[in-house]
Chains A and B, each alone.
Chain A
Amino acid sequence: MQNIIYFFAALVLVTGLFIMLTSDNYLRKIIGLGIFQSSVLLFYIALGKVSGAILPIDICPNSANCPYNFSSPLPHVLMLTAIVVGFSTMSVGLALIYKIYKEYGTISESAITQQEDN
């Protein structure tokens, strides 16, 4: 039952993928990208959870007799990097969309393909 979080992450992944691949509007594709990358965040953080453990923040003044278990902090850190990467990808994508809008006057994929075919 504790693995349901992974199914949820898979659900978010597929949702994001679907939005990315089937949207007509470029902005929606970027949003799908964001959702897609969030699923990976969920997946990693869920990996790091140790059952019965608290957040990986050191609140013990004396590290010798610490009564708490901590979840693994490594995935949290990795995901910080992944969030930054996702954020920069989104900004590049948005910049590209802006340029596309300036060139074509529309950000709908079908309208642009139609324009190109003419």
Chain B
Amino acid sequence: MPLNFLIISTMLLGMINLVAPFFTKEDSKIRSFFLLSISIFFLFNVIIIDDLFINGTVIKFTLLDIGKYSIAFSLEPLGLIFLTMLAALWIPALLYTIKFLTINHITNSSKYLFFVNCCILLGCIVALSANLITMFIAYELLTLCTIPLIVHHFDKKTLAGLNKYLKILLLSSITLFLPAIIVIYSKIGTGTFVSGGFIKHYFSDSSAIFLLLFFIFGISKAALYPLHGWLPAAMVASYPVSALLHAVVVVKTGLFCIYKVLFYVFGLEYLQYLFSDFNWLVILPAITILYSSLQALKCNEIKMILAYSTINQLSIALISAFLFTPKGLAAAVTHMISHSFSKICLFYSAGNFYSLDRTYYLTDLTGINKNMPKTSAIFLIATLSLIGIPPFAGFISKFYIMVAAANQQNLLVMIVIAVSSLFSAFYMLRVLRFIYEPIKTKNNNTEKTVPIFMFISLVLCIIFVICFFFIQQVINIFLTFM
């Protein structure tokens, strides 16, 4: 019983961070200190929970019970991996966001920080959820909590972006995700996640496939074509929002929900049986990969390139998960985490460029290496990781995906992954070319610096990317529990 309390206490601790911005003055040392210390405590708590889990504790508890629907939490390996990742990324996120707000003179920062923290906490609730309805509720609330962040500064462009964003996310979840959940609840009577799936004998084969498609397209946060349009539309928001939320929390929540549905609702053996003759499901992420790579090649705005690159990487993770083997799922989880770290480095460095030079388009980045060499170096490393060059994070996860695909003799997947790496090389190297281009200008060659906090957060993230090999061992420990 006291162990159940540990989850509640951790969440309560995180929630203190929600109200902290309102009681402290803007850009004060007290605020930064308070927020950071709470998030560091949160990380410690999460590490304690991880440790308890590895040593065999089982924690399940129900918060609210309404008939057969209940809001319940439990610990399981996938959820804990996601939770730890969120807790680990909260610290650099806070470091970066606080100073970004100050430097760019964004007003009403308390409200901003409130909603950023809210989103991360909702991501944690999704990680801890024990049944479908809890996951759905937190998923929807996450969409709602990102709204004030996107329109924090509103003009016509942000409103149009918000419209598209909300329409795609809300409508797909209500028309596809929710009915699928209701069908499962009404047919089976419960939606609690069971390792290995629980819907095996309740549906005919074709209705199970339909249900799976409803889930995959209904969880549109994972940005499969054609429901990917919300991601580029949401890039009208400011950099910390785009970075943390749209490259890390929101999209990873989508991926995570799909993984949970695949593993805990359907079960990998059942899925292999459903797709035994020809696994046509991998064609869906393959289409998305090709589409997003081509779009990224066409774009001229930094944020749009990063957005399409995110869609690309998400579909790479999905294609690995759709192999329906334990190795495939493990590789998908690893890719989820490695991509988070690389992408957040990319977005934060781009944010640095933006803060000091107001760069929107690729051409604005020309020769920025002279003014900001350290940030450009970090950008370089993160790009190499994204493309998949050893020994960085991206290589490790793509390697595992290739191994899993090779085990299945799935040539299609291997080719798609190779082609996509090639494409990402093309469009990311385009960006690098502009950054490192030597220009002869009369501009001062002095190095512009960002506040130390923003830099520290960048360094933290890039250390994660470089040392991903060790992180991956830790992930493997969790995955053995599945």
Are A and B in direct contact (Cβ within 8 Å)?
Answer: no
What is A's interface to B at a CB cutoff of 8 Å? Answer: none
What is B's interface to A at a CB cutoff of 8 Å? Answer: none
